[in-house]
Amino acid sequence: MDKEKKIARYQRLQTQLAGLLDKTCDPLARMATIAALLFHKFDYFFWCGFYRLVQGELVIGPYQGPLACQVLAKGKGVCWAGVKGEKTIIVPDVRQFPDHIACDSRSLSEIVVPYRDGSGNVAGVLDVDSDCLAQFDGTDARQLEMIVAWLRVNTIAGEIKGKKS
């Protein structure tokens, strides 16, 4: 998909999310909505979902796609690298990534985007896999970073408005 089409698709998705994420401040509901929309709007997303930091472990959250690892081995793989580095990581070929965790051997490339809680601390990651090599680029990174920012923005807005989850 060329860059302009990709950006346009992300922009349409963000417009959809703007209306959908305003319905609740519940983080799991918002994650489920984001994962479902992303998975179904991008045909090159083989797996799309969230891993949440829960008592020092990365535990599966809402996702779309094949069965996933429930808990990721501590300190290993792309998701943990994103958490520890507090930054987006694009991996063109997961087979070349040290300590990659292969939840599904069909996954060949990956992008991981950390998300933050209402206090600004990394709370987990959005993890997207493709069954094609070198599928993700800087456009995906920037757009997905904007999308996961909605988790924190909506949490803060919900707290300010006094909404209950």
Higher-pLDDT residue of 127 and 102 is: 127
Locate the DSSP E strands across 5-108: 47-54, 57-64, 71-72, 89-91
pLDDT at 158: 47
Which CATH architecture best describes the domain 3-161?
2-Layer Sandwich (3.30)
Between CA 82 and CA 157 the distance in angstroms is 26
Between CA 8 and CA 125 the distance in angstroms is 24
Sequence ranges of the domains in the chain: 3-161
pLDDT at 24: 85
The pTM (predicted TM-score) of the whole model is 0.90
Which band of pLDDT confidence, cut at 50, 70 and 90, is reported for residue 88?
A: very high
